[in-house]
Structure 1
Amino acid sequence: MYAVIQSGGKQYRVEQGQRLDVERLGDAEEVSLTPVLLVDGDSVLATPAQLSGASVTARVVGEGKGPKITGFTYKNKSNQRRRWGHRQRYATIEITDIKKG
């Protein structure tokens, strides 16, 4: 059985026991995510009415940071320059349970 969940504007295919990095979830230790799609053998649950009782439970295992992204913008002949950087923070979660409902 697997599910497709949505977190941080992205969708992930998850199974029980799997670990993955998602965008930071705050200080919660246990998270309940609503699935977008649930597949159990031959049955596929995809509509909101079918997924009303379904849930995916995960626990936060750790936090990490992605790679540093740097950029530089300038405008010609006006001495306008700007250097910027970004480093995304992630939460590592482990899927503990997938309930069909």
Structure 2
Amino acid sequence: MSNEPEVKRWTAKRKAELVKDVIKGKTTAKEAARTYDLTPSEIERWVDDALGGMENALKANPKDVTEQYEKKIDDLHAAYGEAMLQIKFLKKLNRHLDQNDE
């Protein structure tokens, strides 16, 4: 057996607990970074991410993050489809105009 410390994964649950402690003032990003061998900027990014998601969580009808991304993807697919139709139309128009020039 080695004397190396046990490697623990930083799951969302563990990150959330640490972020709560930072927000509540129980620890600072610097202190936590030293304790857990992380960088202060990494912990600060987790805090920023948590604070950014707070607005959605506090809405009357919060949307699931997956639902938000799926809507964005659907919107992008629709925009892509429309752009492809426009390109196809313009190519046909260009071919038609080239035929009339001959």
**TM-score normalised by length of structure 1:** 0.22
Q: Which has the larger radius of gyration?
A: 2
Q: Which has the higher contact order (CA 8 A, sep 6+)?
A: 1
**TM-score normalised by length of structure 2:** 0.21
Higher strand share: 1
Higher helix share: 2
